[in-house]
Amino acid sequence: MSRTVPTALAEGAEAEFMYQYESNMPAATRSAFGVTTTRIGGGVALSMLRDPTGYWSKALGFGFDEPITLDLIDRVVDFYRGEGSRGAVIQIAPSVLPPDWDDIRSRHDLRPGSQIVKLWCPVDAFSPGQTGMRVGPVGPDDAEEWASVVLRGFGMPPEGVAEMLTASVGHPDFRTFAVWDGDALVAGANLFVDGEVGSLNTGSTLPGHRNRGAQSALLSARAKEAANAGCRWLVAETGRPAEGETNPSLNNMLRAGMRQLYVRQNWIWRPDTTS
């Protein structure tokens, strides 16, 4: 595969699972949180006006159906302005940034934020891990608890937003997994099947059950399910650790055979800094 093909697949899968998460929220929850989703230039823009975490307003998946231009970024920013957004994160793969990107981002005062590591590997190159705890798919009876555990594992408040994750259980393109310690659900993760790509996303563990192999086992369960679903590639993303620090999620994926595809910069838009 060329350098651009896995990038397009990785960005497209992430954009689509984020779009499905927010678009499929129950109508009452969408209204309560002020959620609007749209597709722009081959990518997606997602707005959550009353976001309790600051995470869910983001735009991504750009640069493949049409090039990154000032006009494209104008349309993205106009969407957030029209929604009355207090801010958003714009995510663009480094390989599709144009030579005049500094001029484009200066037009809207897009400022660099954190960085994301994108990873991938052929599904048959994945090395499974294990845990002594039980791992299995999540059904309707466990959906609410799974969503609550995942959000608490990320340090996010589960109130309200948990309904968004709960709605992914049973969605035809998501495969939801959890880890149980006895009868207690203690970790969870999702797989999003996007054609030949299996996106490993939304993995977290409650603090008291970390370092016991839960996430390695969840990676393995999802990789196996991706292969069963006909996927050829696995993709994932996680935060790039600061200098001198480590990210256990990144280490787990590297040990499992995934490889860094690129590091992507988050670009932060705020309405009060827009000219």
Classify residue 117 as exposed, middle or buried by CB count within 10 Å of its CB (0-12, 13-18, 19+): buried
Residues 220 and 256 in one domain: yes
- CATH number at 235 reads 3.40.630.30
Instruction: Kindly report, residue by residue over 217-271, the tens digit of the pLDDT.
Output: 999 999 999 999 999 999 999 999 999 999 999 999 999 999 999 999 999 999 9
Residues 174 and 251 in one domain: yes
- For residue 240, the SS3 value is coil
Confidence (pTM): 0.94
Residues 111 and 130 in one domain: no
> Structure tokens of 262?
């690129």
Residues 84 and 96 in one domain: yes
- CA-to-CA distance for 236 and 106, rounded, in angstroms? 30
Question: Could you tell me the residue range of the domain that residue 88 belongs to?
Answer: 4-116+263-273
Residues 144 and 219 in one domain: yes
Question: What total of structural domains would you count in the chain?
Answer: 2
Instruction: Kindly report, residue by residue over 51-78, the tens digit of the pLDDT.
Output: 988 899 999 999 999 999 999 999 999 9
Residues 136 and 257 in one domain: yes
Rounded to the nearest angstrom, the gap between the alpha carbon of residue 61 and the centroid of all alpha carbons in its chain is 11
pLDDT tier at 275 (50, 70, 90 boundaries)? very low
> Structure tokens of 171?
């969605």
Residues 73 and 101 in one domain: yes
Classify residue 109 as exposed, middle or buried by CB count within 10 Å of its CB (0-12, 13-18, 19+): middle
Instruction: Kindly report, residue by residue over 157-199, the tens digit of the pLDDT.
Output: 888 789 999 999 999 999 999 999 999 999 999 999 999 999 9
Residues 170 and 231 in one domain: yes
Cα–Cα nearest to 147, from 185, 180, 184: 185
Helices (H), 108-213: 143-153, 162-166
pLDDT tier at 5 (50, 70, 90 boundaries)? low
Residues 91 and 174 in one domain: no
Residues 154 and 105 in one domain: no
Residues 54 and 181 in one domain: no
